[in-house]
Structure 1
Amino acid sequence: MRIGELARRSGVSERSLRYYETQGLLRAERTPGGQRQYGEWAVDRVIRIQALYAAGLNSKKIAQLLPCMRDADGAPSEIATQQLVKDLSAERERINRTIADLLRSRDVLDEVIATASAVGVSTDSRADTVGADHG
């Protein structure tokens, strides 16, 4: 498939796909005319890259990690180094801390919403007032 189709199917811009290629995260075959061609595996790879970026990993870490993962074609993964396992474990712990922080923030918001609702304050009108102060 061409880059435009990969962008459409993965929901990622062509510009991002070209960036992934320069970072060694994605590879493309070239047609005799120089156009990029990707296999079906590329959709899964791009989705994984996006998930790893969303988790807070940078392109260097993702480039180290991707060879250890299986793509949709089931190609065998390479053996991870002990340092990579250590680094990824640290990233996982960072993500767990972020999740815990977000859950605490949600709990605080739930308390505020419950308190505001109990005293008859409309959260919608309150939001409008707060938005007006900052708008």
Structure 2
Amino acid sequence: MRIGELSRRTGVSVRALRHYEDAGVLPAGRCANGYRVYGDDAVGQVRRIRAMLDSGLPLRIVREVLPYLDGPAEVMPEVPCPYLVDQVAEQLAQLDERIRSLTRNRDAIDAYLRAARAQRLTVP
């Protein structure tokens, strides 16, 4: 599929898709006329990229972690860069904190709704 169709199917702008390709997280083939072409798996790939970015991960970390979402552990470089490992560990800690915060917020909203619904049932 071409970039316009991928954009329509994913809701991600053409500009962002080009940026993902430049960053090395979304491979694209080229037609003889130079147009970008993507395989059928590109829709899922873009959705995974967006989910990781939406969770707060920077694109440089997404590039490193993306192969592990669906791929085998054998893609790990023989000697991973210690600096990158530290960055990924920091991102993991930040994600854990966001999850705890989201869980607290969800629980508060759930408690509010249960109380509001119960009160509504008791009011004539």
TM-score (norm 1): 0.65
- For 1:69, give the aligned amino acid: Y
Equivalent residue for 1:34? 34
Residue in structure 2 matching 1:77, options 72, 75, 79: 75
What TM-score does the superposition give when structure 2 sets the normalisation length?
Answer: 0.69
RMSD (Å), alpha carbons: 3.1
Deviation at 1:58, TM superposition (A): 1.0
Which digits, 9 at most, give the CA deviation of each residue in 1:29-55, with x for residues without a partner? 211111111122322221111111011
Query: Which digits, 9 at most, give the CA deviation of each residue in 1:60-117, with x for residues without a partner?
Result: 2212223x33669x8x734355554443333222112112122323444555666777
Question: Per the alignment, do residues 69 and 108 of structure 1 end up closer, same or farther by CA in structure 2, a change over 3 Å counting?
Answer: closer
What per-residue deviation string (whole Å, max 9, x for no partner) do you get for residues 2-51 of structure 1?
A: 11222223332222111212222222121111111112232222111111
Counterpart amino acid of residue 16 in structure 1: A
In our comparison, the structure showing a higher alpha carbon Rg is: 1
The whole-number CA distance in structure 2 between the counterparts of 1:44 and 1:19 is: 17
Give, as a single letter, the amino acid of the residue that structure 1 aligns with 2:10. Answer: S
| Larger RCO, structure (CA 8 Å, separation 6 or more) | 2
Take 1:56 and 1:45, find their aligned partners in 2: how far apart are those partners? 17
% same residue: 38
Quote the Cα distance in structure 1 between the aligned partners of 2:28 and 2:63. 15
Gapped runs of 5+ residues in structure 1?
A: 121-135
After TM superposition, the structure 1 = structure 2 runs for residues 94-105 of structure 1, keeping only pairs within 5 Å, are 94-105=94-105
Take 2:110 and 2:45, find their aligned partners in 1: how far apart are those partners? 37
1:3 matches 2:11: no
* Structure 2 unaligned regions, length at least 5: none
Superposition pairs of residues 1-135 of structure 1, within 5 angstroms: 1-66=1-66, 68-69=67-68, 77-79=75-77, 81=81, 83-109=83-109
Size of the aligned set, in residue pairs, is: 119
